[in-house]
Structures are given as structure tokens and as C-alpha cells.
Amino acid sequence: MSDAISVTGLVKAFGGTRALDGLDLVVGTGEVHGFLGPNGAGKSTTIRVLLGMLRADAGTARLLGGDPWADATELHRRLAYVPGDVTLWPHLSGGEVIDLLGRLRGGLDEGRRAELLERFDLDPRKKCRTYSKGNRQKVALIAALASDAELLILDEPTSGLDPLMEEVFRETVREGRRGGHRTVLLSSHILAEVETLCDRVTIIKDGRTVESGTLAGLRHLTRTSIQADLAAPPRGLADLPGVHGLRAEGERVWFDVDTDAMDTVLRRLTEAGVRGLISRPPTLEELFLRHYDRTGASGGRHVGAAR
Amino acid sequence: MTALTGTGPLVRLALRRERAIAPWWILLIVALGLAMVAYVNRNMGTDELKLTYIDIIRSNAFLQGLGGASVEPRLDVLATWRSGGFLYVASAFAAVMSVVRHTRREEDAGRSELVRSAVVSRQAQLTAAVLVAAGISLTAGLCTAVALIGAGLQPLGSFAYGAAVAAAGWVFAGLAAVAAQAARNARSATAIGLAALAAGHVMRYVADASGQQWPKYLSPIGWGHLVRPYQDERWWMLGVSIAAGAVLLAVAYRLLARRDLGAGLFPERLGRARAPELRGPISLAWRLHRSLLAKWAAGVAFFAAAAAGLSPLARDLLSRPSLVVDNIRSLLGMSGTLGAYSWYLILILAYAVALYPVLMILRLRAEETSGRAEAVQATPMTRLRWAAGHLVVTGLGTAALMAVAGLVFGTLYSLLAGDLTTDLPRFFAGALATVPAAWCVGAVCVLAYGLLPRACAAVSWTAWALTAALGQVAGPLYGQWGGSPLEPFHYVPNVFTATPADILPIAALLAVTAALLGGGLLCLRHRDFH
Ligand SMILES: Nc1ncnc2c1ncn2[C@@H]1O[C@H](COP(=O)(O)OP(=O)(O)OP(=O)(O)O)[C@@H](O)[C@H]1O
Ligand SMILES: [Mg+2]
């Protein structure tokens, strides 16, 4: 099966700022793909390039087999988009906007529209000026989800939604994919959302891709925190590859270890004689924090542990 | 798939949003066309009066500027002449606003992003905007033609007139389309469009006033006059407008096809990292609105220089016997000096500058509706201090603009036709003396802002439009010699005739202004903020 989105070496500069600097992104057809990165990393910019609203300076981007800039209109027939910052026409009602956007996309499913209005608990008669932030977000979400687009591009779609509505959103996305071959590109800062919904994720930073893969694969890349009580003071532990932030107090050691070095390190520990062992499994959060941190390769808790 | 995809629904959306705006423009244009006919019928009912009037026009450059020297003593010609091209200007104005509203303003608001993510071609929004703007101009032109025929004017000429009105809208729709692509945001796009409109009008006016025809052929507003409805209907001039609009539109599409959404021709520059001086309501207002003031100052200086540059011409006119000059002299109580006559030009600038406080109050309202003021209000800064900061900048800015007008005009006038030691101080003082009247117009807007925030824009524009229309400048041209006592500039002392001790009217104006301001601020303090 071909990829729904494939982007290589994408570059986009705004005057002096390089918003995208050789970004790669591959989203397979039918998958829900998490798109993560710190603020200003270039997620929205990438999405705007994919929508043909910005023209890339270099690199290639393919979307549903077409060129996002040249074939924009044709491609938009097959996708639906929810921007992160939803602004609507102040004097139109929510229902009017949903119909308008639906019509612009080439029609929407009436039954589905009614069902989504019900589930998202939105009054379509209110003027957009009077909607709360979350309700404005719902208008855009309903308009997108009520279409039968094969690709959904969602830029922080749940910002402003309450937890109940967020759950409704997750359900709708899950149902949507069960139905067929719907691909979803989901940019988000909510890790729980990404963990429950996404098959694969791409993490970008400063306009470059720093990590991409399945969640299980990524977990693999993270470090396990270990606290061990040993029979004798450890020797040579610090020199082992994959050990980070070692700290020792008598016979007790704390350190983080890369998953692929785990085997060797544990062997070295048992050689010294293990009396007690606490290992904390890697969390995605730590992985993200490590990548999000601007200061360097290791971050968050790892920095703390290194003291 | 074509470049038109999605245009249909977008046209409908634009029409839906124009529902509350376009009809007023159309009504204004038609009403003005009819009002001119009524005016000529009332004031120049007989052929004899018409002939007298034509003589008056021929001997006066200001009146010639109104609609050209080639008038004939007929109702239809006089009525079109009398409108001074206002129908063309109004139609062009509406077109600029409408095109920018449906293109760049949508982009700035972030709604274009939503719209263009649908099955909508890149060109569709621009196409829809231009179609709607052109449709409005066309409707206005057609309604004018029909109304004038209904009023008994000759059909062929009426259709030529209506077509010229529509064509002016079309050219400026094209111009606004280009501006919407090139500018950094909607505000600048509107400013570019309206500046071009003002320049077009001034070029046309100067051409007719001076008798030099070539600037008229360069001005899109001039093309409307050159159609010469009811005279010899030069239809081919319409072709010029249509072609120019089409070329501009082609340029706009070119730019659009190469442009990122939300970007202008030039990339956004970096700003400063710190703002040490930004600490109170006044410095905030100054930071937000200083560029508007700078643009106004440049515009005022330009027009003051242009007006002063005409003073040798005015001197020539004064040396000829003229009924109108005598009328203006006697009715405004002026002495026969050239300086007294030039005072008229300072007043024109003053009426224009009175628009500045109006725009500033509208900006105050925009700060509120956009939610930006909310962020400021959440700090210890009270609502009154926030508003007062804007008002201080507005008040001083208005005074500064008139000072610029007086200095530039006074200096150039003195060098060209007067005496630096006496005329410059007089013009400067005279220009400053108009400031309380301009403040008073702004104060009406403040009251509207405090009392009727939703209607603030409508009331504010009306207040300014009425002031200008009933004023001493438009007044003499439209037969209301001396203007109406209902507008504040009526009480501005003429520095060339009034005795310097005549301070009472100014004090009264200041008192009224203070009362209006106080009322407005009081209402603002007690109403909901949204
Ligand atoms: N129109 C623009 N002009 C100048 N710089 C821009 C423009 N749009 C984006 N940028 C810059 O490009 C970079 C990437 O921005 P982008 O909006 O893609 O970030 P993001 O990953 O979506 O961030 P967030 O998580 O905050 O939404 C930022 O540094 C931003 O300042
Ligand atoms: Mg973003």
C-alpha cells in the first residue's frame, strides 16, 4: 500500500527564520499518526505545506499521491482539516458554518452531522461570536468528522475541549478508522491522546525530524531508571556504554540505562551481587521531554539524576 | 477541476455577509444621484439661472475642480457635474472595502485556512470577492441609471452614467485585489486602496481646477468623468476602465499563485526583544497607533504642500472679477486678501483631519471586540485609564496633525505668495484653532462608544460624514453658504477676520467636548465589556 503522506527534506523559511529545515515525515495509508514537537517546532507549518497553503522552499512532499501545492484543490476533495486556532465568521451560526464547510468539501453526511452534533452536545443555532473556545473547536471538528474524507489532518484538535468531549473525540476517531482506510495525521501536545490513538508517531524539533516509529519502538529507545543495592561497591559501571547519570552512595547506585544496553549492565550488576533492585519502566513522557528540551540530548529527569 | 472550484459557495457566503452592508452603499449612491437632480431643479430651475451658474463655474477654479469646466446649462449635465464625481468615489470606496473584506481580512482572521482546506481552488476566494464587489458596483450603477430615468433624465445618458459608476467600482476592485496580495495585512491593503482612491480623486480635481487635462487621464476616477454622460457619451472610456481592472486582476492572480497564505510581498521582520518604555496606558496606545499617526502626518503634509502650491494660481483668480469669490468673501466675512481666501484650504484639511479621531475611537472599539483589551483589563490598569490612554494619544495626535498642516501650508504659502513673519504665525494659529472642533467630532464617537458600543462604527462614520457634508467647505459648494450651525467647525474663528480676543466659541466647544467625553467614559465604566 502506498503512503498517504510522504515528505522528505522539506525546507521552509520565513524571511530569516527557518521554520522547516529538512523535515521528513511518512504516514502510511490507514494509520493514525501522531505528530509531536515542542512549540514552534514546525508542526503547523508542515501541515500548511501539506495543505498547499505555503509553498516549500526545498524538498519533496506528496499527499495522497499528488503534489500538495499544484493539485491542492483536487486533493482537498479527499481530506478534511481542523486548524489549531479555529476562527469563525462572527455573524454566522455554528450550523451555518458546518453546512458551509461541508458544502465546500463537496457535501457532508446528514445523518452523521446530526449524530455528531448530538454527541458533541453543540447547539448549532448560536452565533459563532457567542461560542466559547471549546465550542468553536467543536464546530470545526464536526464539520471535518462529518465528511467521509480519507485523510484527516488535525492540528491540536482538542485544545479547549473538556475531558468528556475529548473522550468523544477519541471515540469518533477510533470508530472512523475501524470503518475503513481513513488516515489521520494528528498534531498534539496531549501525550495521553497520542498514546491511545496513534499507531506511529513522528517527533520533530527545530524543523527537523528527530524520531519516528511505532510507540513500542520508541519505548525501546528510552532509558530505564534503575536503583540497585549491591553486595559490593560497583566497579567499571560508569564506563559501560548506555549507562547515564550514575550516582553511587555506598553500595547503592542509581542510574539510567539505554534499553539495548540493559543486558550487559544487568550482567555486570549480578557479578557484583544484587541485594535489591528497583527498575522503573520508560515512559513516553520522558522520551518526549528529552526531545523537547532545548538544552541538549538528555533532559528532564535524566538531568536531575546526573547531579 | 478548474480555478473556479468552490467559487459558488464562497460567493453565496460573501453575499450573506454583505447583506447588511452593500444595500446601504447602493442606497447612498442612488440617493446621491437623485439628490443632485433635485438640487439643480430647486436652485437652478430656469435656463437663465443655469446660464448664470455656468458663468460662476467658469470663473472659479474651485468650482471647476468640482466637475470640470465643460458643463452645459442642462439639468442632466449639471446634476452629474454637481455630484463632483462623488458617485464614482463612493462606488470605488465600496469596492475596495468589499474586496479586502472577503480576501485579506479573512486571511488575517485565519478563516481562509479553514476555507482553503476544503475543495476550494486557491483563486476561489479572490474570484468570489471580486465577483461580489463588481456585482455591487454594477447593481449600484444600474439602480442609479434606472432611478435617473425614472426622474425624467434621458435613458442613454443615464445608462452611460450608471456604467461609469459601475466601472469605477470595477477598477478599484482590481486595485484592491492587488493590494490584498501585496500588503502585509488587511489594514494596509485597505490603506493602499483608499490612498489610491484619494490620489485618483485629487488628480482629477487638480486637472479640472487647473485646466491641465493630462492628470485626469491618469486617474481612474477621471475616467468616469471622461465618459461624459448626457454630453457625448464616450463609451470607449468605459473600455479603458474595464481593461485596467482586468489587467490589475490578472496581476493579482499572478501574485496570488506565488504567495503563501497570510504572507505579503515582503516577509515579516523581527521586532525588538524588549519594551522598556511600554509601561502605562499612554505608552501602550502610542505604541499601537503611532504608525497610523505617522501615515496621517505624511498625508496631511502632502496635501498641505499641494494646496499651498496652488496659491499662486489662486492669486491669479483673485485678480479677476468673480461672483463666487465675492460671495465667499462676503458670506464668510472675509477681507479681500489672498490669505483669507487660502483659509478655505486649511478648513478643508481640518475637516479631513477630523476623521482621524473617529478612526482612533473605532480602533478603541476594535481593541475591545478583538479581546486584546481584555488582556490589558486583567491587569491593575482600570478600564478608564486604558481608554484615557487612547484618548490622550488621539487628542494630541489630532492637534499634531493640524500643527503639521498649519506649518507646512503656512511656510509654503509664505514663500510663494505671502510674508513669512505675518502669514506663517497666522496660519499656524488658525490651524490649531480648528483642533477643538475636531476633538468635538471625536467626542461624539466616544459617547457612542460608551453608550451604544454595537452602533459605534455607524454613529462615528455618520458623525464625521455629517460634519463634513454640512460644513463650511461643502456648504458653499452646495448652496449652504456659511455651512450649518449644527457642526462644530462652524464655531472655529477665522484668524484672518476675527479679533484675537474672540475666545468664547472655542471655550464653548471645549466645554461641549468635555461633556461628551465625560458622558462616554461614564457609560463605558458602567457597561459590560465585550
Ligand atoms: N508566517 C510566519 N512568518 C514568520 N515565521 C513564522 C510564520 N509562521 C510560522 N513561523 C515560525 O515558524 C516556526 C514553526 O512554527 P509552527 O507554527 O509550525 O510551530 P508548531 O510546531 O505548530 O508550534 P505549536 O506547537 O506552538 O503550535 C516558528 O518558529 C514560527 O515562529
Ligand atoms: Mg501549531
Nearest CA to ligand 1 atom 24: A39
Q: How big is the CA angle at B195 (ends B192 and B196), to the nearest 5 degrees? A: 85
Amino acid of residue A60: T
Position A105 in a domain: no
Amino acid A191: pLDDT: 86
How far is ligand 2, taken at its centre, from the CA of residue A266, in Å? 42
How far is ligand 1, taken at its centre, from the CA of residue A42, in Å? 5
Position A239 in a domain: yes
Cα separations in angstroms, B186 against B189, B263, B264, B371 = 5, 11, 10, 18
How far is ligand 2, taken at its centre, from the CA of residue A40, in Å? 7
* Ligand 1 atom closest to residue A12's alpha carbon, by position in its atom list: 12
Neighbours of ion ligand 2 (CB under 5 A): A 44, 84
Q: What is the CA radius of gyration of chain B?
A: 24
Grid cell, residue B381, equals 490598569
How far is ligand 2, taken at its centre, from the CA of residue A164, in Å? 23
Please name which of B369, B370, B364, B371 lies closest in space to residue B386, comparing C-alpha atoms: B364
Q: Which of B6, B267, B268 sits opposite A104 (nearest CB)?
A: B6
- Three-state DSSP class for residue A96: helix
Say yes or no for a CB contact (<8 Å) between A140 and B16.
Answer: no
Question: What residues have CB less than 8 Å from A171, skipping those under 6 apart?
Answer: none
Chain B contact for A136 (CB, 8 A cutoff): no
The number of folded domains in chain A is: 2
Verify that A158 and A277 share a domain, yes or no.
no
Q: Can you list the residues of chain B whose pLDDT is less than 50?
A: 331, 480-481
Position A214 in a domain: yes
Verify that A67 and A157 share a domain, yes or no.
yes
Nearest CA to ligand 1 atom 6: A14
Measure the CA–CA gap between B98 and B93, rounded to whole angstroms: 9
B376: left (phi over 0), alpha (psi -120 to 50) or beta: alpha
CA of A83 to nearest chain B CA: how many angstroms apart?
Answer: 7
Verify that A276 and A192 share a domain, yes or no.
no
How far is ligand 1, taken at its centre, from the CA of residue A41, in Å? 7
Q: A33: domain CATH number?
A: 3.40.50.300
Best of A10, A18, A23, A45 for a ligand 1 pocket test (most atoms within 8 Å of beta carbon): A45
pLDDT digits (tens, 9 = 90+) for A214-262: 888 777 767 788 899 988 877 788 888 888 888 888 888 898 888 888 8
Grid cell, residue A230, equals 549491591
Verify that A214 and A251 share a domain, yes or no.
no
Position A289 in a domain: no
Q: Which residue of B has its CA nearest to A50?
A: B117
Amino acid B162: pLDDT: 96
Grid cell, residue A247, equals 550516582
Measure the CA–CA gap between B119 and B121, rounded to whole angstroms: 7
Verify that A35 and A66 share a domain, yes or no.
yes
Q: Which of B118, B260, B263 sits opposite A104 (nearest CB)?
A: B118
Verify that A154 and A60 share a domain, yes or no.
yes
Amino acid A180: pLDDT: 67
Nearest CA to ligand 1 atom 19: A40
Q: How big is the CA angle at B292 (ends B290 and B298), to the nearest 5 degrees? A: 100
Q: Are B130 and B95 in contact (CB under 8 A)?
A: no
CA of B34 to nearest chain A CA: how many angstroms apart?
Answer: 33
Q: Which of A53, A88, A153 sits opposite B260 (nearest CB)?
A: A53
pLDDT digits (tens, 9 = 90+) for B371-396: 788 877 777 778 899 999 999 999 99
Measure the CA–CA gap between A190 and B508, rounded to whole angstroms: 63
Contacts of B6 in chain A (CB under 8 A): 73, 104
How far is ligand 1, taken at its centre, from the CA of residue A45, in Å? 6
Verify that A72 and A159 share a domain, yes or no.
yes
Helix axes B236-257, B155-182, angle to 10 degrees: 20
Q: Are A19 and A13 in contact (CB under 8 A)?
A: yes
Cα separations in angstroms, B108 against A88, A92, B355 = 12, 18, 25
Measure the CA–CA gap between B446 and B361, rounded to whole angstroms: 7
Chain A contact for B269 (CB, 8 A cutoff): yes
Grid cell, residue B10, equals 464562497
Strand ranges across the sheet with A17-28: A17-28, A3-14, A58-63
Q: Are B108 and B186 in contact (CB under 8 A)?
A: yes
Nearest 10 degrees: Cα torsion A62, A67, A72, A78: -50
Chain A contact for B258 (CB, 8 A cutoff): yes
Measure the CA–CA gap between B128 and B133, rounded to whole angstroms: 9
Nearest CA to ligand 1 atom 30: A40
Q: Which of A53, A88, A91 sits opposite B261 (nearest CB)?
A: A53
Pairing type for strands A223-230 and A17-28 reads unpaired
Residue B166: exposed, middle, or buried by beta-carbon count in 10 A (0-12, 13-18, 19+)?
buried
User: Residue A254: beta bridge partners?
Assistant: A227, A247
Chain A contact for B110 (CB, 8 A cutoff): yes
Question: What residues have CB less than 8 Å from B480, skipping those under 6 apart?
Answer: B470, B474
Measure the CA–CA gap between B52 and B327, rounded to whole angstroms: 14
Q: Which of B9, B119, B268 sits opposite A15 (nearest CB)?
A: B268
Cα separations in angstroms, A154 against A82, B187, B210 = 5, 30, 62
Q: Can you list the residues of chain A whose pLDDT is less than 50?
A: 296-307
Say yes or no for a CB contact (<8 Å) between B116 and A91.
Answer: no
Say yes or no for a CB contact (<8 Å) between A54 and B261.
Answer: yes
Verify that A258 and A230 share a domain, yes or no.
yes
Verify that A204 and A239 share a domain, yes or no.
no
Question: What residues have CB less than 8 Å from B51, skipping those under 6 apart?
Answer: B73
B379: left (phi over 0), alpha (psi -120 to 50) or beta: beta
Q: Which of B111, B114, B119 sits opposite A77 (nearest CB)?
A: B119
Measure the CA–CA gap between B422 and B425, rounded to whole angstroms: 6
How far is ligand 1, taken at its centre, from the CA of residue A148, in Å? 29
Amino acid B475: pLDDT: 57
Verify that A185 and A161 share a domain, yes or no.
yes
Other C-beta atoms closer than 10 Å to the C-beta of B363 total 17
User: Residue A214: beta bridge partners?
Assistant: A200
Grid cell, residue B277, equals 518604555
Position A116 in a domain: no
pTM for this predicted structure? 0.81
Contacts of A99 in chain B (CB under 8 A): none
Verify that A8 and A70 share a domain, yes or no.
yes
Position A137 in a domain: no
Say yes or no for a CB contact (<8 Å) between A105 and B267.
Answer: no
Q: A254: domain CATH number?
A: 3.30.70.100
For B213, phi then psi, to 5°, come to -80, -25
Verify that A175 and A74 share a domain, yes or no.
yes
Chain B contact for A79 (CB, 8 A cutoff): yes
Position A18 in a domain: yes
Domain that holds residue A269: 223-281
Question: What residues have CB less than 8 Å from A227, skipping those under 6 apart?
Answer: A252, A253, A254, A277, A278, A279
Amino acid A303: pLDDT: 32
Chain B contact for A133 (CB, 8 A cutoff): no
DSSP for B4-16, please give it: TTTHHHHHHHHHH
Please name which of A40, A133, A157 lies closest in space to residue B371, comparing C-alpha atoms: A133
Position A35 in a domain: yes
* Ligand 1 atom closest to residue A207's alpha carbon, by position in its atom list: 14
Nearest CA to ligand 1 atom 3: A14
CA B284 to chain centre: 27
